Amino acid sequence: MLWLWILIGVLVVLAIVAVLGYNRLVRLRNECDTGWANIDVQLQRRGDLIPNLVEAVKGYAAHERGVFDEVTRARAAVQQAGGPASAAQANDILTAALGRLFAVAEAYPELKASENFLRLQEDLTDTEDKISAARRYYNATVMRYNTAVQSFPWLLFAGPFGFRAREFFSAEGDTGVPQVSFSTAT
């Protein structure tokens, strides 16, 4: 009789631990989703700015066709990217293409002085800053989630319940996740 009670007690404790663990994984996964949504919003915003920028530059430098095509292609690649890692890679290519576009713009003083161009340039720089901020947050949440999913004992039932490790938003392994640890001194 005693053994039965002990068995029941152990099962109850295990059930509680499992429920808490499951909820924790769900919470961490939701944080990743929010983090990714933040990046997506900024990628979208950047994508929306680019056609205007291309138009603005075309007005002064219509013959620089190669750069325009490159930027347009890179923009489409970001929008079609399948996952965080490929989106990050496409985004890096877009950043490089935009760099060349701005280099071209350097040669046209009237363009550089135009109010419209200056505002677009400022907005793009701001969006890039926001993408990198959102990236830091997203990668930190992915780091936490992946650690939880891959560590014992959660890895035992993370798989069956569909908790899979997430991709970082980074092209080449550099996650931008802080490598410092903090002791909470009092």
- With tokens 């035992």, the residue in question is 156
84 binds other proteins (CB under 8 A): no
170 binds other proteins (CB under 8 A): no
47 binds other proteins (CB under 8 A): no
DSSP 136-186: HHHHHHHHHHHHHHHSTTHHHHHTTTT--PPPPS-SSS-------------
Q: Residue 184, by phi and psi: left (phi above 0), alpha (psi -120 to 50) or beta?
A: beta
Q: How far is the CB of 160 from other proteins (least distance, A)?
A: 24
85 binds other proteins (CB under 8 A): no
Scanning 58-66, 70-78, 107-115, 125-133 for contacts with other proteins by CB under 8 A, the matching segment is 125-133
SS3 (DSSP) at 110: helix
Q: Contact positions toward other proteins, by CB under 8 A?
A: 27, 31, 34-35, 38, 42, 126, 129-130, 133-134, 136-137, 140-141, 144, 176-178, 180-186
